[in-house]
């Protein structure tokens, strides 16, 4: 998948590994994994949310569960 950040940087997860896509789980989800004894990484399911970070501007995009759709659900930009 490719996505153009608002800063103009092209984001993609086509390279593996990459520094764009993050695997994020809630604390509750992670606790459930621990209860089930999932310690091998292949046993851990894909996260509910697809989170991408632009390396150039630090914007964080949160995509719907359907990774094919390129419309982010939410966008964060830290202002300083």
Positions touching Zn ion (CB under 5 A) are 5, 7, 9, 54, 56-57, 59
Report the Cα 10 to chain-centroid distance in Å.
15
Minimum CB distance to Zn ion smaller for 2 or for 28: 2
Shortest spacing between CB 57 and Zn ion, in angstroms: 3
CB of 77 to Zn ion, least distance (A): 9
Phi then psi for residue 46, to 5 deg, are -60, 145
Smallest gap, in angstroms, from Cβ of residue 58 to Zn ion?
7
Element (DSSP H or E) covering residue 21 = strand 21-23
Q: Which residues share a beta bridge with 50?
A: 23, 63
């Amino acid at each position: 998948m490719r996505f153009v950040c608002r800063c103009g940087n092209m984001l993609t997860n086509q390279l593996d590994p990459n520094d764009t896509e993050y695997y994020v789980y809630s604390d509750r989800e992670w606790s459930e994994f621990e209860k089930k004894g999932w310690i091998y990484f292949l046993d851990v399911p894909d996260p509910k949310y697809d989170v991408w970070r632009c390396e150039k501007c630090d914007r964080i995009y949160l995509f719907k569960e359907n990774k094919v759709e390129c419309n982010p659900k939410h966008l964060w930009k830290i202002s300083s």
